[in-house]
Structure 1
Amino acid sequence: MPVVQRFPSLGIMSAPRFETRSGHVEGAREGPLLVFRGVPFAAPPVGALRWEPPQREATWAGVRDARSAGPAAPQRGSIVMRMVGIESIAQDEDCLTLQIWTPALSGRRPVLVWLHGGAFTSGSGSLPLFDGSVLARRGDAVVVTVNYRLGALGFLAQAHALEAGAIGANFGLLDQIAALAWVREHAERVGGDPDNVTVFGESAGAMSIGALLGAPAARGLFRRAILQSGAAHNVSPLASGLRIAELFRDAAGAPADALRALAVDAVLEAQQRVVDQSWRHVDGLAFQPIADGAVLPRAPLGAVAAGEAHGVELLAGTNLDEWRLFAVPDAKLRSMDEAGLVRRLVRVPPGPSADPEALAREAIAVYRDARAGALPVDPPSLWLAMQADRVFRVPAIRLLERQARHARVFAYLFDWASPALGGLLGSCHGLELPFVFGTLDHARAADLVGRGEAAQRLARDMQDAWLAFARSGDPGWPAYDEAKRATRRFGAQPGLDFDPMGAERAFWDGRL
């Protein structure tokens, strides 16, 4: 059991230890916190365990060193990581580990479990951006960050397993479930309350949570959830998942029974080829959760509407300018005129229609009229606004609407603008992360988010709201419902709005 000894003659504390189900681990003291890194929550998913559900980790003798983070899942990196100065990270298929920050090994504190984003193909729970020390100290809470399998290794469907009635998809999602089960089992050993676990995540991490709300195996593993820029829409139908599997086999140049023997670099190379062409074959991301009939018996949003996540309180929201991050490499956007905007909307229509061009022009008129005098209405700005709503804001609203019938839910909108690139990014995707974690001074984060007391004050406000929600289910503003749509605004001028950008929201009714 937990052992922390004092040596009176030396006047120092020993390194913190606790006993996991598989053996003892020894972490480090970092200021007032006890920190454990690289703690395994499942067996390495390598060899015969590649593309298999996570298995229990092996026991070990003695004391395992838990002072260094484990490697990230194999990946090629992402634009967000490069923006905050992270060019490369250690990575390996043996990646199923987690990090823990706790004020003490005794007591019953709220537990917050972080699922990182990265389009299901990049990222890590051990990135310095996600250092849990500020949240753990400020909220007297236990903070856990998790690694899970990514890309093809985490989300490639295995047709032969599915045909045999076995688990053949959603391996990254199953890793997250295994981590949450491990946390529930060990919470009391690290000073946490197993009955007060909040899972929180951003982008693909939040989309994962949206899927977990519809996963029977995840029920009872968390009491609350915070979804930042992601909801329950990013789940592929089984047919799409199987089509991606076909494309992957073609890209790898190997039959299904040879894929386990592929080198990791070959997997990543085939994965990239699939990502580059997937838009021609399927809607949405190439690698993401799949409604496989087992891990996800049906689309999670339908499961939520039916009450299958009854009692799970939600806090969900988005950033005002989500799509600006993804528009940085879009060279044609800056010179796009209205005709070009119509063409884009015809290619990517904002809903089913017998006349896509008429629908495109209707969308343009709604957004232009709603934003006139308050927000830019040039064609590039209208495209960015529609994409932000289509991919992020409206899916979050739909999830809140469905779950509001079964638990208290809360909404937020983040509109702090980045000063980077001459203001080009606005309040882009991912910008809220260093505010939530209190890592504004990390690497290039300060250049991205700005400096000064206003930024620090906003960070404290967001941390306090997240921590209050994790502790009690009340972040400090009215719950969301379809009558008033109360939404807390976090930015240079924080406040409480009711149905912000309501006309744009209403445009998507019946379409998304």
Structure 2
Amino acid sequence: MTGVHEMPEATATLPTCEVRTRQGTVRGVVRGGVRTFWGLRYAGPAVRFRRARPGPGWNGVFDATTPKAMAPQAPFGGIFRTPPGGFSEDCLYLNIHVPDEPSPTPRPVLVWIHGGAGGSGAANQYDGTALARHGNLVVVTINYRLGGLAQLDVSAWGPEYQGSGDLAFYDQVAALEWVRDHIGAFDGDPEFVTIAGESAGAGSVVELCASPVSAGLFRGAIASSAPALSDRRPGGHLEELAKKLRLPPDRLQRRLVECSWPELLDLAAKARGRREVAKTYLHGKVADLIAAKAERAPDLVIGYACHEGDSMEFLTRQGLRRLGPLAGPMLHLLMLQVVPHVAGGRDQRREYLRRLRREHGVRYGARFNDLVWTDLFRRGAVEAAEGAARAGARAHVYELDVPTVIAGQRMRSTHGVDISLTFNCWRDPGAMDEPLTDDQDAPALADRWVAMIAQFCRTGSADGPLGSWPAYDVAERPVLRVAPRESRILRDPDPEYRQRVWPERAG
């Protein structure tokens, strides 16, 4: 769920500011009481299929007054606007937003990882002005490689291509390493870094919490609608492509390296197979890996919307309109591809569907799709929180109940509505598209939500700004139901549901 307006002011008319870093001097702009630096390199220019390497410094002054390129991806649809900056494989940039007033001590840092199902999105979609100013935080938004440029596994070509199927994760780690080494020049405290994200970005947040590769780079994490995760990903890409293109290995390699990025994204889509391989940065179940970190496990805020599937259904149907009456069956087939992630594995898929249908008496259509989507993100939240609680870290779980509006369509509380709260678009001069809710009490809730984020970044506890919010434990399982007018604690909501529907938890 993403989208922003074009830049609200011509940057040439904005006052500028400069910061001296170890890499050189950076020039940004001052807007809305915040110093903004667009498009700083956190790594050298990306080399196709290879992991990011540290970027060099520069002579003179680096121009960070305008947005830089985002990762190559399919064109944005008509609902969400394309952000500025264009597309390029040279996309390993980040943006920084810093309150334009002196601070007696370094500020906590929030690093935002965008969503987009691993195939779309950009740092430039999210303006951190209001979040930085009203939370008194340094806000960093990052790009990372997407689609086939991040996911095509060519590790068989040699050691320099190891990790080629997992480049999104390694780009995110490279960005966090840059923050650790350089954010002090922007009044940020590298000892108080919190990572945050929504949807696929939230999934990245949870994986960063679990992986040993990212140890020590942050101390807190906020994950909005993180899906249930596996330590495996699709594999067998090269074999699939070689068969479909009828090319020998040497000619296939040359074509993949030399072709344009639009052609590469198209080829990668054709290469998807059902075989799975282990992710190179995870070796076990996410919850177990978080628990195993013990005192090194980050504190966590994680949650989901009450009806995650409403927006997923609407947006997917928009994309399938050309299919007419076939859109419903196609949507159902797409949903069945999600089921293994909810069920806990492909071998549990049939049993999960049997239990879900028995529990709700529904087998097809919008209600069925909403049940599965909501279960995907609810399970992701529960399992990550359980891992954090087992490690002794503080975990806070929420359930968001904020009515949503997307492209004029009114929905129940659904996927993406938390973005409007996090970036407090009612107070943001460079806001996203119209807020994803028109509830009259939502702006006040956004103020409290930002206050919660700011407190969590400083203390690791979310208790207070949204009301009483005890840390999660596996005995009482407190979940905060967040609504525009009043939030309240639910004690172990739906315990029978977990037992009756999630297969391996039965008994």
TM range (shorter): 0.7 to 0.9
Q: Which residue of 1 aligns with 2:259?
A: 262
How many angstroms apart in 2 are the aligned matches of 1:436 and 1:217? 27
Q: Which residue does 1:383 correspond to in 2?
A: 368
Partner-residue secondary structure (3-state), 1:461: helix
Q: When the two structures are superposed, what TM-score results if normalisation uses the length of structure 1? A: 0.81
What's the offset of the Cα at 1:271?
3.0
Query: What's 1:400 paired with?
Result: 385
Q: Which residue of 1 aligns with 2:306?
A: 320
Report if the CA contact (8 A) 2:199-2:225 is conserved. Answer: yes
The within-5 A match list for 1:32-181 is 32-45=33-46, 49-77=47-75, 82-86=78-82, 90-103=86-99, 104=101, 107-127=105-125, 130-161=126-157, 166-181=162-177
TM superposition score normalised by structure 2: 0.82
Q: CA deviation at 1:356?
A: 7.6
Q: Take 2:348 and 2:377, find their aligned partners in 1: how far apart are those partners?
A: 25
Cα distance in 2 for partners of 1:76, 1:473 equals: 38
Distance in 2 between the 1:347 and 1:405 partners?
A: 27
In 1, distance between residues paired with 2:376 and 2:422? Answer: 22
Partner of 1:450: 438
2: CA distance, partners of 1:315 / 1:113: 14
| C-alpha RMSD of the superposition | 3.4
| SS of residue in 1 equivalent to 2:50 | coil
Give per-residue Cα distances to partners, 1:306-351, cap 9 Å, x unaligned: 2278331011111111122222245779989xxx999x87995746
Q: For 1:80-131, what per-residue CA distance to the aligned partner results, in whole angstroms no more than 9, with x for missing partners?
A: xx4344488611111111111112576311100000000111000111xx21
Deviations 1:271-326 (A, max 9, x none): 3434xxx4x7258xxxxxx7344x33445443223227833101111111112222
Q: CA deviation at 1:489?
A: 1.6
| 1:22 matched to 2:20 | no
Following superposition of structure 1 onto structure 2, how do residues 292-303 of structure 1 map, counting pairs within 5 Å? 292-293=279-280, 295-303=281-289
The match for 1:224 among 212, 220, 223 is 220
Change (3 A) 1:270 1:490: same
Q: 1:249 to 1:456 in 2, by over 3 A?
A: farther
2: CA distance, partners of 1:146 / 1:88: 14
Distance 2:337 2:221 in 1: 36
SS of the counterpart of 1:188?
Answer: helix
Between 1:55-64 and 1:116-125, the stretch displaced more is 55-64
Matched ranges for 1:105-504 at <5 A: 107-127=105-125, 130-161=126-157, 166-231=162-227, 233-237=229-233, 240-241=234-235, 243-248=236-241, 255-274=252-271, 278=272, 281=274, 291-293=278-280, 295-307=281-293, 310-328=296-314, 329-330=316-317, 348=339, 350=343, 360-367=353-360, 380=365, 382-406=367-391, 407-420=393-406, 425-440=411-426, 442=431, 444-446=433-435, 448-450=436-438, 452=440, 454-476=441-463, 477-492=469-484, 493-504=486-497
Structure 1 residue identity aligned to 2:437: V
Stretch deviating more after TM superposition (183-192 or 246-255): 246-255
The alpha-carbon distance between structure 1 residues 59 and 124, as it changes in their structure 2 partners (threshold 3 A), is same
Give distance in 2, aligned partners of 1:214 and 1:162.
27
Q: 1:315 to 1:83 in 2, by over 3 A?
A: same
In 1, Cα distance between the equivalents of 2:411 and 2:51? 39
Q: How many residues align?
A: 466
Q: In structure 2, give the amino acid aligned to 1:16.
A: C
**Conserved in 2, the CA contact under 8 Å of 1:108 and 1:191?**
yes
CA contact (8 A) 2:231 2:279 kept: no
How far apart, in 2, do the equivalents of 1:385 and 1:502 lie? 19
Distance 1:333 1:169, change over 3 A: closer
Residues 341 and 325 (structure 1), Cα distance of their counterparts in 2 relative to 1, 3 Å cut: closer
Gapped regions of structure 2 (runs ≥ 5): 1-13, 318-323, 464-468
Q: What amino acid is aligned across from residue 193 of structure 1 in structure 2?
A: D
CA–CA distance in structure 1, aligned partners of residues 351 and 172 of structure 2: 43
* Conserved 8 A contact 2:351-2:503: no
Q: Is the 8 A contact 2:68 2:93 kept in 1?
A: yes
| In 2: Cα distance, 1:205 partner to 1:189 partner | 26
CA distance in 1, matches of 2:20, 2:337: 58
Which letter maps to 1:324? D
After TM superposition, give the deviation of residue 417 of structure 1 in Å.
1.6
Instruction: Indicate if the aligned counterparts of 1:403 and 1:409 stay in contact, CA closer than 8 A.
Output: yes
Task: Report the alpha carbon displacement of residue 147 of structure 1 after superposing the two structures with TM.
Answer: 0.5
Please say if residues 303 and 397 of structure 2, whose CA atoms lie closer than 8 Å, have aligned partners that are also in contact. Answer: yes
CA deviation string 1:406-436 (max 9, x = no partner)? 1111101112122457765322211211111
1:251–1:488: structure 2 CA closer, same or farther, 3 Å change rule?
Answer: farther
Are the equivalent residues in 2 in contact too, given 1:418–1:449 (CA < 8 A)?
yes
Distance between the aligned counterparts of 1:217 and 1:425, measured in 2? 39
CA distance in 1, matches of 2:111, 2:351: 45
Quote the Cα distance in structure 2 between the aligned partners of 1:346 and 1:93.
29
Q: CA deviation at 1:455?
A: 1.5
2:199 maps to amino acid? S
Contact 1:321-1:384 at 8 Å conserved across structures: no
C-alpha deviation, 1:19, in angstroms: 2.6
Paired residue secondary structure (1:176)? helix
Quote the offset at 1:33 in angstroms.
Answer: 1.4
Closer, same or farther: CA 115–351 of 1 in aligned 2, 3 Å: closer
Report the CA distance between 1:172 and its aligned residue.
1.6
Range with bigger deviation, 378-387 or 203-212: 378-387
Partner Cα separation in structure 2 for residue 353 and residue 57 of structure 1: 41
Query: Residue 315 of structure 1 contacts residue 411 of structure 1 at CA under 8 Å; is this kept in 2?
Result: yes
**Deviation of residue 478 (structure 1)?**
0.3
Q: Compared with structure 1, are the counterparts of its residues 355 and 168 closer, same or farther at alpha carbon in structure 2 (3 Å cutoff)?
A: closer
Cα distance, 1:347–1:140 mapped onto 2, change above 3 Å: closer
C-alpha deviations, 1:253-278, integer Å up to 9, x for none?
6513431111111112223434xxx4
Distance 1:212 1:359 in 2: 28
Question: 2:151 touches 2:164 (CA, 8 Å); kept in 1?
Answer: no
In the superposition, relative to structure 1, how do residues 25 and 505 fare at CA in structure 2: closer, same or farther (>3 Å)? same
Where 1:83 maps in the other structure, the secondary structure is: coil
Shift of 1:488: 1.4
Q: Deviations over 1:346-373 (max 9, x none)?
A: 99574679998776443223246xxxxx
Give the Å deviation of 1:396: 1.6
| Partner SS for 1:126 | helix
Match of 2:321 in 1: none
Using the alignment, how far apart are the partners of 2:45 and 2:262 within structure 1?
Answer: 18
- The answer to whether the 8 A contact 1:320-1:428 is kept is yes
